[in-house]
Amino acid sequence: MEKEYFVQQDNFIEDYKKVTGNETIDFDSLAEEVINQLNETQAEEFVLSGDETTDGEDHQFPFSRRIYTDENDGTLNTEYTYEGQPYELRTDDEVQ
């Protein structure tokens, strides 16, 4: 992987592969999907639908968010960090 979309992305890919059983992943489009979902929902997790997992369950991948400014031009930037190692399945009962 040449481009870093978020911190700990190698660990995310490892966990994502375990859940989906898919060994060949277009990481650029997956990372875009993850970042878009995190930005749109403002949630602290990426939710993968059970339609895409081997066990048919929805899986939540936890992320943290850090917002910072660039000292040179003052623009706001967002940095995401995957917090899921070791990964554990959270059921809907635990999310409440």
pLDDT in tens, 17-69: 999 999 899 999 999 999 999 999 999 999 999 999 999 999 999 999 999 99
Which residues lie closer than 8 Å to 61 by C-beta, 6 or more apart?
12, 15, 16, 34, 45, 46, 47, 48, 82, 84, 87
Residue 43 within a domain: yes
What's the domain range around 76? 9-86
pLDDT over 70 at 91, yes or no? no
pLDDT over 60 at 95, yes or no? no
What region does 21 belong to: left with phi over 0, alpha with psi -120 to 50, or beta? left
Give the pLDDT confidence score for residue 72 in this predicted structure. Answer: 82
Residue 3 within a domain: no
Residue 63 within a domain: yes
- Number of independent structural domains in the chain: 1
Residue 1 within a domain: no
pLDDT over 90 at 11, yes or no? yes
Residue 77 within a domain: yes
What's this model's pTM, rounded to 2 decimal places? Answer: 0.81
Q: For 55-84, what is the mean pLDDT?
A: 91
Give the pLDDT confidence score for residue 42 in this predicted structure. Answer: 94
| Amino acid identity at 82 | Y
